[in-house]
DNA sequence: ATCTTTCTACTACAACTGTAGTACGACAAT
DNA sequence: ATTGTCGTACTACAGTTGTAGTAGAAAGAT
């Protein structure tokens, strides 16, 4: 997927994208149904959100009859890269070690799990 | 400092806060001077930004004559906690191990540095 | 053929953000 | 006193976000 620079998305926009990431190309109706379920959004709201994402270039739309189908143009890794880098730059002086230290100090992760992650990666297991 | 829930700040707002975090209570003029320097902002812009942060409750203002002095009401750790938690929730399903794995995979941190961070924390050294 | 449902397109609107200009009062310089 | 400077308050304005309503076309139901 694209390496486009700025892909900072809001929590809600990420929720929309996640539907596309999980299901691949999806109709407005199906995305809307899921978001209605998850957080009670009206389908016009979801339609608006999708058009905006399209205008912004992070998804593409395809028309079939009078229905629109959306597909992600950036994948989750792209967004993670971009947003983690932003956070790192803004709050950790770009120092990832500081971020890891923060995670440990705030008990988001146990010290021992660092080794676990390392072993997991060493074994070539890639993410979920 | 406060444990207030939502302290998600924009990069620019963080830059403002950083001045206050580093210098403690600071006059509008001094914050403005620094931001003018760092990123060419006009002092009225900085003044506006500071009033907004005050309205939002993340800084407090004190008046001395016709000058305003600002002081942070949340510290950097508070903001880090809040924003890292948001990111974790939105993009890593709340799983910090995934985030650490991401950092390693994207070469933001070397696998060996994980152990380094762990040792550093074990020794009771706290962050910069 | 007509009614009803379904979709998209467009419009709306408030809150927040980035950016700054203008107005006005206070203070300093002469 | 007069004038220029500094600082705050208020206003402005475009772009983004969250949320949704309305209009109008198309498709399905009877």
Using the beta-carbon criterion (under 8 Å), do A101 and B111 form an inter-chain contact?
no
Q: Please report which helix (H) or strand (E) contains residue B108, including its range.
A: none
- pLDDT 10s digits, B55-78: 999 999 999 999 999 999 999 999
**Residue A73, helix vs strand vs coil:** coil
Q: What is the mean pLDDT of residues B9-26?
A: 98
| CA–CA separation, A59 and A71 (whole Å) | 5
Among candidates B14, B114, B122 on the partner chain, residue whose Cβ is nearest the Cβ of A118: B114
Q: Give the pLDDT band of residue B128 (cuts 50, 70, 90).
A: very low
pLDDT classification of A123: cutoffs 50, 70, 90: confident
Q: Is the pLDDT of residue B8 over 80?
A: yes
Mean pLDDT lowest among A53-62, B24-33, B116-125: B116-125
* Averaged confidence pLDDT in chain A: 94
Residues of chain B with pLDDT > 70: what percent?
93
The reply to whether the CB atom of residue A45 sits less than 7 A from any atom in nucleic acid chain C is no
Cα separation, B125 vs B128, in Å, equals 9
Query: Which one has a higher pLDDT value, A4 or B93?
Result: B93
Enclosing H/E stretch for B125: none
Short-list B2, B50, B55, B57, CA closest to B26: B50
A41-77, pLDDT tens digit by residue? 999 999 999 999 999 999 999 999 999 999 999 999 9
Is A38's Cβ below 8 Å from some Cβ in B? no
């Amino acid at each position: 997927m694209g390496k486009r620079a700025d892909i900072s998305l809001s929590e809600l926009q990420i929720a929309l994208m996640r539907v596309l990431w999980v299901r691949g190309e999806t109709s407005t109706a199906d995305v809307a149904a899921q978001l209605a379920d998850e957080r009670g959004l009206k389908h016009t709201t979801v339609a608006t959100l999708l058009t905006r994402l399209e205008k912004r270039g992070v998804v593409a739309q395809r028309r079939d009859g009078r229905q629109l189908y959306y597909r992600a143009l950036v994948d989750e890794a792209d967004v993670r890269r971009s947003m983690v880098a932003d956070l790192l730059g803004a709050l950790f002086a770009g120092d990832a070690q500081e971020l890891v230290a923060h995670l440990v100090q705030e008990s988001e992760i146990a010290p021992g799990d660092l080794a676990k992650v390392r072993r997991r990666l060493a074994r070539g297991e890639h993410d979920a």
